[in-house]
Amino acid sequence: MFALNSQTIQDEIKLAITGKWQGHVAGDFELNLEDLQQMKTNFDNAKVDLVIDLDHATVIEGTGEAYGWIKEFEIKDEELWAKVEWLEHGKELIKTGKYKYISPVFQKNTIDQTTGKDIGWTIHSAALTNRPFLEDLGELVANNNQINKKENTGMTPEDKAKMEALEKENKDLKDKETAAESARVEKEVDDAIAANKVVASQKDSLIAFGKSNPEGLTSLLTNAKVIVTKPEDDVYSNNNQGAGNQKYNVLKLGGIE
């Protein structure tokens, strides 16, 4: 997630940094410098600009109106930055404060459609949103190389044992909550497929969206109309826009698998 300044429209935005996320609704995951370099290399090889849409429309619907275009990636101090060409209606949403954040969609184990090879990490698209996949980069800094590394001076063995027990209990509780939420999201999507509101090929991307934005998924599926004439069963029918010749299995982060 990158917070946008409504006073000055940035033409460079931060999309990712190295580190480890723990306790995220999408599950634990990690990005290192090699992963960021893969994202840049795959973008460079695709030779296609990446779309910045609104509320991940490209993920949910297979296409979406562009509010800006990512033109170039650059690695700066273990951070992935993007040069952006904003469209006027995208600038207006930022200037008026209607949308505050940019949220990338990470893709792990991307399969190149031409070669069939796993080319690693890519960024599928990015979105203007008010519910970013990563709530703030501070969460990442707090988790990166700092978890469980503070020395607990002055603690008795009994105190340490109690603390470790509480930490385990909290982790177990978070794991149960994450599993329950994942099951709920999957059932919600399955029910929508059964009701013929969405097609089966959209399942993975909808689940990914639901894990990062549960309320958004519920609203989307509640308002979705029953499909009378089933469209071509390919959520990625617009592969030529922002995705090159790669077929994407969208992660949870934006998601993460």
Q: Give pLDDT, residue 59.
A: 84
Please give the average per-residue pLDDT across 180-190, as a whole number.
Answer: 91
Cα–Cα distances in Å, from 83 out to 2, 72, 132, 153, 209?
A: 13, 5, 19, 46, 25
Q: Give pLDDT, residue 76.
A: 93
Distance CA 208, CA 37 (A): 23
Q: Is 145 a residue whose pLDDT tops 60? A: no
Q: What confidence tier does 210 reach under pLDDT thresholds 50, 70, 90?
A: confident
Q: What confidence tier does 48 reach under pLDDT thresholds 50, 70, 90?
A: very high
Q: Give pLDDT, residue 193.
A: 92
Count how many Cα atoms sit within 13 Å of the Cα of residue 178 in the half-sphere of its side chain.
15
- Other Cβ atoms less than 10 A from the Cβ of 89: the count is 12
Residue 13's φ and ψ, nearest 5 degrees, are: -130, 150
Q: Is 144 a residue whose pLDDT tops 50? A: no
Q: Which residues pair with 129 in a beta bridge?
A: 101
Q: Give pLDDT, residue 138.
A: 30
Q: Which residues pair with 120 in a beta bridge?
A: 110
Q: Give pLDDT, residue 241.
A: 45
Give me Rg for the CA atoms of the chain: 20
Q: Model pTM greater than 0.85?
A: no
Nearest CA-CA partner of 222 in 247, 249, 199, 195: 195
Please give the average per-residue pLDDT across 39-53, as a whole number.
Answer: 94
Helical spans, DSSP H, in the chain: 33-46, 57-61, 88-95, 137-143, 157-194, 203-212, 214-223
3-state per-residue secondary structure call for 47-93: CCCEEEEECCHHHHHCCCCCCEEEEEEEEECCEEEEEEEECHHHHHH
Residue 234 near residue 201 (C-beta atoms within 8 A): yes
Q: Give pLDDT, residue 50.
A: 95
39-43, 129-133, 198-202 — most confident range: 39-43
Q: Give pLDDT, residue 223.
A: 87
Least confident span in 16-20, 69-73, 189-193: 16-20
Please give the average per-residue pLDDT across 160-168, as a whole number.
Answer: 74
Count how many Cα atoms sit within 13 Å of the Cα of residue 81 in the half-sphere of its side chain.
11
Q: Give pLDDT, residue 166.
A: 76
Q: Give pLDDT, residue 183.
A: 92
Q: Give pLDDT, residue 153.
A: 45
Average pLDDT, the chain: 76
